[in-house]
Chains A and B, each alone.
Chain A
Amino acid sequence: MMKTLLNTILISLLATTAFAEDVNRTVDAAKDGHVEVSNISGEITIEGWNQSKVEVTGTIGRDVKELIVERDGDEVLIKVKLPNRSSSASDADLRIKIPAGSSINVGTVSADIDVSDVNGEQSLHTVSGNVTTESRGEDVSAESVSGDVEVSGDNSDSEVEANTVSGDVMIRRVSGEVVGESVSGSVEVEGGSFDRADLNTVNGEVNFEGELRNDGRLSIETVNGSVDVEFVGAVSAKINIETFNGGIRNCFGPKAERTSKYAPGWELDFTEGDGEGRVDISTMNGRVTVCKK
């Protein structure tokens, strides 16, 4: 019985390998040009390198009609073309090396997107895949419907937008301005120093650990979810926290007050430091913790 099972697995693996075709294509590219990538399913891994070339390697499924890799001026187009509707043999797992200074626009249906060492602007969209990327000073827009979105940075300033519907959002070591949104997943910001951070969920936790700059603005909203904020460094802001049903824990001193004698809500309004910035936290059902490191 075990032997039959192993044979079946082996045959399946061999069949899968036999259906996949290896690809290896290279085109010249501008150092700081633009790269467009489209794929239906599989995986897209993009790495920046210091050569003025775009190299595409990996495997494409039996049903893939064509892999287009072409340059038009400063733009390189990489596209996995399918004849009709996708099938199980239409996956394309591509590893793409591009000049590090390139900007990229990637669109996939169910393929994961993984980007590293790219310094240009990034626009990454997938319907049901995960997005993992790095922010290196240029703007990043990453969105998925049912996948997770993870953006990590080197603490240089940029504008980062990370959205998903049912996945989690993780933003690490990013500075400047961030927007993180999920409907049913959690939103987490760790590290970084911010002029503005807008973090929203409907049913999901929100965790923020970072520095709020002078005149900075932190806004957190959720319907059903707890909120944990841990400021790094000194805080100078007017802080307003309100819950309809949930406690407030404040490490800065002032105590929260009940919104009404009969209701389970709490509110807290106070100024920390010179009050240059602004912090607004609001949840319907969930506890809020605000502390400093």
Chain B
Amino acid sequence: MKDEKLMEAAERLSKEIRPERDLWPEIAATINAPAAKRWSPLFAQAAAVVLLVGASSAVTYMTMKDSMSPTVVASTDMIFEQASFGNRYYLGPGFQDARNTLVADLEIELERLSPETRADIQKNRVLIHDAIAEINLALEKEPENMLLQERLLNTYREELALLRRVSSLTRNVMLRNDI
């Protein structure tokens, strides 16, 4: 029920709101720029998310590349069509790709866990997605609200942290227990 509500909300966002520009290239350019210019809190947060995604993906890839199953399909019901950022900005395909990688990694690890633990993790992912949807809806009304922008980016970061943490913890615990 929650999923449906969430997906409806996400669908509504992507249909009704046309993002003005993709933040990703700017963020990437900012990260690659040799001289550090003064970042606004918004871009600092965004860059933190991107760095986190990049680092997590790299670590996950390095760790899993030898043991990963050949084909892994992440369940699509948990993935937003678009990482929207109010109605003015969005985190583009680079962000989404990185998140998909983490989600795929998590799907592998979830298979090893009990149904109760899996359900618990999924429940918390839905909860984070609910929060993201809620903040996005609020941002529709107040696109310039810095608190909402920061909360949104931090909640995306929280989602990535959950994906990374659960995968890493489960993998490490299972490996050391020979499972």
Contact = CB atoms under 8 A, between A and B. Distances in A.
A203 B127 contact: yes
A222 B127 CA distance: 13
Interface residues of A, number: 42
B112 to A, nearest CB: 9
Interface residues of B, number: 36
B172 A165 contact: no
B123 A109 contact: no
B3 interface: no
Interface string A179-214: 001011000000000000000101100000000000
Interface string A38-63: 11100000000000000000000000
A44 to B, nearest CB: 12
A145 B127 contact: no
Interface stretch (B22-30, B48-56, B142-150): B142-150
Contact of A183 (B116, B128, B145, B177): B128
A101 interface: no
A38 B161 CA distance: 24
Contacts of A163: 165
Interface string B118-162: 001101100110010011001000100101101100110010011
Given A145-B121, A165-B166, A109 B151 contact: no
Nearest to A243: B147
Interface of B: 113-114, 116-117, 120-121, 123-124, 127-128, 131, 134-135, 138, 142, 145, 147-148, 150-151, 154-155, 158, 161-162, 165-166, 169-170, 172-174, 176-179
Given A109-B173, A128-B113, A200-B158, 5 more contacts: A82-B178, A82-B179, A108-B177, A126-B173, A166-B124
Interface of A: 36, 38-40, 79-82, 85-86, 107-110, 125-128, 143, 145-146, 163, 165-166, 181, 183-184, 200, 202-203, 221, 223-224, 242-244, 259-260, 263, 265, 282, 284
18 contacts: A39-B177, A82-B178, A85-B179, A126-B173, A128-B113, A128-B117, A165-B121, A200-B154, A202-B131, A221-B151, A221-B154, A223-B151, A243-B147, A244-B148, A244-B151, A265-B147, A284-B138, A284-B147
